[in-house]
């Protein structure tokens, strides 16, 4: 039976993913529930869509990192 090696995810990617998820959540709250969490001075037109896009882009490096780890693991098993 093969032992599984623990995979360490860099803390920078975890922090980036957390902030991205927070932005996506704020954008979705504004878009679907019309909830304004930000102060009135920071609001601009269509900020919900901007938050969703930027948040998704911030979450993308973590997804790509995990996909690369799984690809490397699968390639190592085939050898």
pLDDT tens digit sequence for 53-76? 999 999 999 999 999 998 988 877
Q: Is the pTM of this model over 0.85?
A: no
Please check the confidence at residue 28 and state whether its pLDDT lies above 60.
yes
Domain boundaries, the chain: 11-78
Distance CA 58, CA 53 (A): 9
Please state, in angstroms and rounded to a whole number, the distance separating the CA atoms of residues 79 and 64: 23
């Amino acid at each position: 039976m093969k032992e599984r090696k623990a995979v360490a995810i860099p803390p920078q990617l975890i922090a980036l993913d957390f902030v991205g998820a927070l932005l996506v959540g704020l954008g979705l709250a504004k878009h679907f529930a019309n909830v304004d969490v930000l102060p009135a001075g920071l609001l601009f037109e269509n900020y919900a869509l901007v938050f969703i896009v930027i948040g998704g882009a911030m979450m993308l490096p973590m997804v790509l990192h995990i996909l690369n780890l799984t690809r490397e693991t699968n390639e190592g098993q085939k050898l």
